[in-house]
Amino acid sequence: MTKRNLLLVWLFTCLTQGLYTLFWYVKTKREMTMQGQNILPAWMLIIPFANWYWLWNYSQAVSKVINQKLRPITVYKILISIPILSNILLTGVLLAKAGIISTTLDQSRVQVVFTILLQLQAVAITIIQAYFNQTVDQNTVSES
């Protein structure tokens, strides 16, 4: 695994409005695959509902790579909760704009909620990256 600067992981996620998350998933998937983990193809990340299954498969590999410091279900909960909340919010906004549900949309509040969700997503992948970094450090010490 590659040790990454946690501040940069968080910052890149925020600056790219979450697009860095996809890049991070693909890069870390490749690194774990090189360590012998069997992870489904990363293109599944962009397919609704298939991405949830992909994240479960990815979470199992993460748990193995970080020496079971987090159980697969814990990794999965960290990674899946933010996209689910974002999808719920986005669906509500789209239904309100289409007039399907009647509510007054306050754009500033919607923007604040999306910003908070983006921050939480950045924190989620930063947490997993911290475990990757810790594993890299431990492997370096054990090799010395």
Q: What is the rounded radius of gyration, in angstroms, for the C-alpha atoms of the chain?
A: 17
pLDDT of residue 91: 79
What is the arithmetic mean of pLDDT over 3-9? 96
Q: What is the pLDDT of residues 31-81, one digit of tens each?
A: 999 999 999 999 998 888 898 899 999 999 999 999 999 999 999 998 888
Q: Return the closest-CA partner of residue 23 out of 118, 119, 125, 120.
A: 125
pLDDT digits (tens, 9 = 90+) for 99-127: 888 777 677 877 887 888 888 889 999 99
Q: How many CB atoms lie within 10 A of CB 26?
A: 13
Length of the chain, in residues: 144
Taking 80 as the threshold, does the pLDDT of residue 85 lie above it? no
Q: What residues does each domain of the chain span?
A: 6-143
